[in-house]
Chains A and B, each alone.
Chain A
Amino acid sequence: MGKTMAEKILARAAGLQAVSPGQYVTARLDLLMVGDFSAEIYDAFRDIGISSVWDPSKVVALVDHEVPAPNVKVAEQDKKRRAFAREFGIAHWYDVGRGGICHQVLPEHGHVLPGSLIVGCDSHTTSYGAFNAAGTGIQVPEVYWAAAKGELWFQVPETIRFEITGTLAPMVMGKDVILQIAGAYGTDFALYKSIEFVGEAVKEMSLSGRWAIANMGVEVGAKFALFECDEKTLEFLRGRTRESFIPVESDNDAEFESRYCMDVSDLQPQVACPHDVENVQDARGLSDISINQAFLGSCTGGRLEDLAIAADILRGKKIAPHVRLIVMPASQEVYRDALSSGVLQTLVEADASIGPCSCGPCVGYHSGLLAAGERCISSSNRNFKGRMGSPDSEVYLASPATVAASALTGHITDPRLL
């Protein structure tokens, strides 16, 4: 019997010939992304009496959820994060101005290798599936175990094979594809499962589009959201890593829990309406919804391609007078490239406010939050009630193109109708 991508990666990491869905295994981690939870690990290790991480070269730590420190409490946490990196000899530590949002930074710095098993202290760790890596989230306190031992238990997931066919129309992005999937099948259709995205549309799609889909795999419940490794993946990795890797593909006779097929040729720009990611409608039917804020950023929609398509839409124009457009490049590399290519200048001239490389309003902790009665259209990933500030505010999720078009008009706008 053939095997799926998830089964192959978990079997290798567990040191077994083969594994099957439902089986419990203990797997060695290829990489641990502790994100900004290093402060908690630092405290817990001292408390428990753990003096070292299992392999300092395989731990990546950074700051992203609250950057730069918005208050003294966070500043004190940041101090601990730096102490963790220093005292535990963490090889890969990205401080303010050196990194950005974890799921952007890790691939950019060559840490995410095809065929690898990665866990991270963030739900959107599924992002690494865009690079053929089985990435999934964990949290404190389990990360203490992972950091100390470099291994974790997993139940081998069943696999959904999701074929995407057709050709995406201009101004329709990977984000629209995953919103359409969430709307059609619900936010739990892949619960505990691994999804494999394959098909002609996937091959044609930019890596950035795949990245957005894998990122939001967790929004439909997935444990892993995997893509095959192809020339686009290899091109991205060139010059970023010297490590060897072995990509995985599912065997022809692999056993899938289910198969889905979706043609995206007629797909329209999609919007997830409050307060659920599965509450999805066509953007063109929502033009009577006015907005106060537009957010372009996050690990879902803050890449160069995302900022560039927004700049194309806003070039030589001003956003609507009553709207504030907040732009946060997902990483220092994105920021630099958007700066040198003139993208940021175009956005600034359109009256965008450019913020630091941070999760920003998406996580609802500290910046760009919403007051009662306000509405935001956002290229981020969650629109739960109160997610971005007041419980009486509303968040609409859309592609970067739709966010830019809506910022321009002041109401939700299909970018093809401008």
Chain B
Amino acid sequence: MSNTVFQGVLSGRVWKFGDNTTTDYIMPGFAHSGTAAEMAKFCMYANRPGFAAEARPGDIIIGGRNFGCGSSRPASRNLQTLGITCVIAESLSRLFFRSAINLGFPVLPCPGVYEIFEEGDTAQVDFRTGEVRNLDSGAAVQTHTLPEIAARILEAGGVVELLRREYAARPGHGRQTSP
């Protein structure tokens, strides 16, 4: 699994997915027993066959409302495996938001974002200011920045990295401190 480290500003080619794009689409149940690479091949297979083959590292997903609804499965892992750098959506399901941040995958709810992009446009997302800009048309929307706690987890690269730092520093715990 590639772990996208939060960089603050991301830009990339846009894919658009509409309202209620479920985690069942992002990480289908029928493919769940495969390796990370095998699972990612079926990302969006039910709603958009071909996406996984055509997506390129650096691409960005612009979503409609309630992106990532449904199951709590760690669906952003599939997007990370494909090299997608972030999801910006009208709204994000609570579970997907939390899961993505904890996996170190940047996401941002941004009302108004869906209509300023056509697929294939280039988006630029500034997580430090909350501005999302269409570099082709020049259109931009402004949203709230991530809550501080979420930004801190992202900057660390996910909650596992936070735990690693803490437990590595404890005497008697962690591989780094083993004799």
Interface positions of A (Cβ within 8 A of B)? 24, 44, 48-51, 71, 73-74, 121-123, 136-142, 144-145, 148, 153, 155, 187-188, 191-192, 218, 221, 223, 276, 278, 363-365, 369, 382, 384-387, 389-391
Cβ proximity bits B26-50 to A, threshold 8 Å, 1 near / 0 not: 0011101100000000000111010
B173 touches A50 (CB 8 A): yes
B99 at the interface (CB under 8 A from A): yes
B163 touches A145 (CB 8 A): yes
Cβ contacts under 8 Å, B175 to chain A = 49
B122 at the interface (CB under 8 A from A): no
- Among B69, B170, B173, which residue has the most Cβ atoms of chain A within 10 A? B69
Closest residue of chain B to A136 (Cβ to Cβ) is B94
| B interface size (C-beta, 8 A) | 45
Q: State the total of A-B contacts with C-beta under 8 angstroms.
A: 124
**A70 smallest CB distance to B (angstroms):** 9
Cβ contacts under 8 Å, A74 to chain B = 33
Within 8 A of A (CB), among B131-179: 147-149, 158-160, 162-164, 167-168, 170, 173-175, 177
Cα distance, A276 to B28, chains bound together (Å): 16
B33 in complex: contacting residue of A71, A123, A142, A382, CB < 8 Å: A71
Cβ contacts under 8 Å, A122 to chain B = 72
Cβ contacts under 8 Å, B147 to chain A = 24, 155
A141 in complex: contacting residue of B66, B91, B160, B168, CB < 8 Å: B160
B98 at the interface (CB under 8 A from A): yes
Binds A, one of B17-25, B52-60, B113-121: B17-25
A382 touches B24 (CB 8 A): yes
Cβ contacts under 8 Å, A148 to chain B = 163
Closest residue of chain A to B49 (Cβ to Cβ) is A391
Cβ contacts under 8 Å, B159 to chain A = 141-142, 144-145
A48 in complex: contacting residue of B22, B72, B74, B174, CB < 8 Å: B174
Q: With A123-B72, A363-B29 as known contacts, state yes or no: A141 contacts B173, CB within 8 Å.
A: no
A391 in complex: contacting residue of B46, B160, B170, B174, CB < 8 Å: B46
**A352 smallest CB distance to B (angstroms):** 24
B72 in complex: contacting residue of A138, A364, A382, A389, CB < 8 Å: A138
Cβ contacts under 8 Å, B91 to chain A = 188, 191
Cβ contacts under 8 Å, A136 to chain B = 94
B74 touches A139 (CB 8 A): yes
A139 touches B95 (CB 8 A): yes
Cβ contacts under 8 Å, A391 to chain B = 45-46, 49
**A303 smallest CB distance to B (angstroms):** 21
Closest residue of chain B to A146 (Cβ to Cβ) is B159
Q: With A48-B160, A391-B46 as known contacts, state yes or no: A141 contacts B103, CB within 8 Å.
A: yes
Query: What are the 6 tightest A-B residue pairs by CB atom distance, in nearest-first order?
Result: A364-B29, A386-B46, A49-B174, A391-B46, A188-B66, A123-B72
- Among A188, A192, A385, which residue has the most Cβ atoms of chain B within 10 A? A188
Closest residue of chain A to B34 (Cβ to Cβ) is A73
Cβ contacts under 8 Å, A384 to chain B = 22, 24-25, 46, 70
Cβ contacts under 8 Å, B164 to chain A = 48
B93 at the interface (CB under 8 A from A): yes
B71 at the interface (CB under 8 A from A): yes
B16 at the interface (CB under 8 A from A): no
**A384 smallest CB distance to B (angstroms):** 4
Inter-chain pairs besides A48-B167, A144-B160, 14 sampled, C-beta below 8 Å: A73-B33, A122-B72, A123-B95, A138-B72, A139-B72, A139-B95, A141-B102, A145-B159, A155-B147, A188-B91, A365-B30, A365-B32, A384-B22, A390-B30
B69 touches A188 (CB 8 A): yes
Cβ contacts under 8 Å, A390 to chain B = 30
B28 touches A386 (CB 8 A): yes
Cβ contacts under 8 Å, A385 to chain B = 24-25, 46-47
Within 8 A of A (CB), among B54-88: 65-66, 69-74
Cα distance, A279 to B30, chains bound together (Å): 23
B98 in complex: contacting residue of A44, A139, A369, A387, CB < 8 Å: A139
**A71 smallest CB distance to B (angstroms):** 7
**B91 smallest CB distance to A (angstroms):** 6
Cβ contacts under 8 Å, A386 to chain B = 24-25, 28-30, 45-46
